[in-house]
């Protein structure tokens, strides 16, 4: 079997890339270790940057998104009883985010892939990459039918933080940068209306809390917890009590309690692997980087990666121009590090760190006070929250020259 681009991983990065390549007339095959139900059912992010929404609209994948997504023109920060609203629309000239769960995005991507007959191999075990240093790489994997070989021109590693692709970048050239946070997020989903019409990020003496939603009737709430805590330690009543305490009485008055039908604890870390390209292997999404969920950049970064990669691949296959592929890693990393900075800053502002001193706490209070009164500080937050534009492709010919 042969294709132009072998995509390892059927998460957001892999599926969006496959749709972008199809739109450009470029062949691809997606190889996924899990089943569709498993990939689609993972509970993940729910805040889409405006660039992500625009990309899905460009691909014609926004019918349900437009009908069911909740457009938010503002977000809110609360600390010690004080609340400040960040008016993103006013501060950025109309910017907004859309609340639409990753599960729904994946459903739309898979449904459209079936409609268009896009090849996706599920249940692929023992995936291995071969000859990525040359012009004719390949991917091998095992299914119920035996070992399969897929020849290709390019491999896109979109297999997430636990995938195998990043490990095919040789250790001699691979650099990793990591910050592991000393806490996690305990999150629940409940079929109850949200406490407020917009997200609220709250900082309390007991730790961080987030009031969010998936729909007008489904709420998503989080609280900061210890990394050694267990879900069993948090029965529903204890969670609701702690959430309301951290949100404060004004916000807690709007909380509707109900049984949690999903409950999980996620560790927090910042991670970047450089470079995002080696030979004919190109990494995208969590295969190359991870961010703490504060600020909701994970899935959005995956989409921005593959937008850049698809553009470079179109230059390569359609125009015989390799400059975009050569510049992909540097271009993608420029945006990745800005998102890492924002997620790190936002996490530091809103969470309580076990090792924090009185000085550190005073810095949090001062930062919040500055945000409350400074339009410039609010604008910086709003610009990052709705999503920074893609960085221009340095060193590539202009659009006119490539036409």
Predicted local confidence at residue 45, as pLDDT:
76
293 flagged as catalytic: yes
Percentage of residues in the chain with pLDDT exceeding 70? 97
pLDDT digits (tens, 9 = 90+) for 241-294: 999 999 999 999 999 999 999 999 999 999 999 999 999 999 999 999 999 999
* Pairwise CA distance, residues 155 & 400, whole Å: 28
Q: 353: cis peptide before it, omega within 30°?
A: no
Contact between 209 and 247 (Cβ < 8 Å):
yes
Looking at the predicted structure, is the pLDDT value of residue 184 above 80?
A: yes
Annotation marks residue 181 as catalytic? no
Q: Pairing relation of β-strands 218-225 and 175-190?
A: antiparallel
Residue 179's CB is within 10 A of a number of other CB atoms, namely 13
Q: Rounded CA gap, 164 and 157, in Å?
A: 8
| Residue 162 designated active-site | no
Whole-model pTM over 0.75 = yes
Which residue among the candidates 141, 181, 293, 351 is catalytic per the annotation? 293
pLDDT of 391: 75
User: Of the residues 19, 289, 297, 351, which is catalytic?
Assistant: 297
Helix (H) or strand (E) holding 236: helix 236-247
For 239-253, the pLDDT digits (tens) are: 999 999 999 999 999
Would you call 116 a catalytic residue per the annotation? no
Phi (first) and psi of residue 51, to 5 degrees: -70, -35
Whether omega for the bond prior to residue 387 falls within 30 degrees of 0, making it cis, is no
SS3 state at 79: strand
| Active-site annotation holds for 263 | no
DSSP secondary structure letter of residue 2: B
pLDDT of residue 402 exceeding 60: no
3-class DSSP state for residue 233? helix
Report whether pLDDT(237) > 70: yes
Which residue is catalytic, options 12, 19, 72, 204?
72
Burial of 34: CB neighbours in 10 Å, binned 0-12, 13-18, 19+: middle
The pLDDT value recorded for residue 393 is: 62
Farthest-apart Cα atoms in the chain, separation: 64
Alpha-carbon 175 to chain mean position: 21
CATH 3.60.15.10 fits 5-72+98-179+269-352, yes or no: no
Classified as helix, coil or strand, 188 is: strand
Mean residue pLDDT of the chain comes to: 95
Say if residues 388 and 304 touch (Cβ distance below 8 Å): no
- The predicted pLDDT at position 401 comes to 37
Is the pLDDT confidence value at 2 over 60? yes
Q: 238-273: buried (b, 16+ CB within 10 Å) or exposed (e) per residue?
A: ebbebbbbbbbeebbeebeeeebeebebeebebbbb
Per-residue model confidence as pLDDT tens digits over 120-163: 999 999 999 999 999 999 999 999 999 999 999 999 999 999 99
Tens of pLDDT, residue by residue over 358-386, are 999 999 999 999 999 999 999 999 999 99
User: Rg (Cα) of the chain, in Å, rounded?
Assistant: 22
């Amino acid at each position: 079997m042969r294709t132009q681009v072998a995509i390892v991983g059927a998460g957001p990065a892999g599926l969006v890339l496959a749709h972008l390549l199809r739109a450009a007339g470029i062949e691809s095959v997606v190889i996924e270790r899990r089943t569709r139900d498993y990939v689609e059912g993972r509970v993940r992010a729910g805040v889409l940057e405006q660039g992500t929404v625009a990309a899905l609209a460009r691909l014609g994948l926004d019918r349900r998104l437009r009908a069911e997504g909740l457009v938010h023109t503002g977000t809110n920060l609360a600390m010690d009883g004080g609340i400040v609203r960040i008016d993103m629309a006013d501060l950025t000239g109309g910017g907004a985010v859309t609340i639409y769960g990753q599960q729904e995005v994946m459903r739309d991507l898979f449904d459209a892939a079936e409609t268009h007959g896009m090849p996706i191999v599920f249940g692929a075990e023992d995936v291995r990459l071969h000859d990525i240093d040359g012009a004719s790489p390949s991917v091998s994997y095992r299914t119920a039918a035996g070992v399969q070989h897929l020849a290709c021109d390019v491999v896109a590693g979109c297999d997430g933080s636990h995938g195998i692709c990043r490990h095919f970048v040789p250790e001699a050239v691979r650099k990793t940068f990591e910050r592991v946070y000393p806490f996690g997020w305990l999150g629940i989903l409940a079929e109850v209306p949200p406490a407020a019409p917009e997200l609220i990020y709250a900082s309390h003496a007991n730790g961080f809390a987030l009031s969010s939603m998936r729909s007008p009737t489904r709420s998503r709430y989080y609280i900061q917890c210890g990394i050694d805590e267990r879900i069993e330690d948090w029965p529903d009543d204890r969670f609701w009590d702690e959430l309301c305490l951290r949100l404060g009485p004004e916000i807690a008055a709007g909380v509707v309690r109900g049984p949690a039908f999903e409950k999980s604890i996620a560790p927090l870390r910042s991670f970047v692997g450089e470079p995002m390209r080696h030979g004919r292997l190109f990494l995208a999404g969590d295969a190359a980087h991870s961010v703490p969920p504060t600020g909701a950049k994970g899935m959005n970064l995956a989409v921005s990666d593959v937008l850049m990669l698809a553009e470079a691949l179109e230059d390569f296959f359609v125009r015989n121009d390799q400059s975009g592929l050569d510049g992909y890693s540097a271009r993608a990393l420029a945006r990745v590090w800005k998102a890492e900075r924002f997620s790190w800053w936002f996490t530091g502002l809103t969470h309580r760190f076990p090792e924090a001193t009185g000085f550190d706490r005073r810095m949090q209070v001062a930062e919040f006070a500055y945000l409350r009164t400074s339009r410039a500080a609010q604008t910086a937050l709003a610009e990052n929250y709705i999503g920074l534009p893609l960085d221009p492709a340095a060193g590539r010919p202009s659009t006119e020259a490539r036409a």
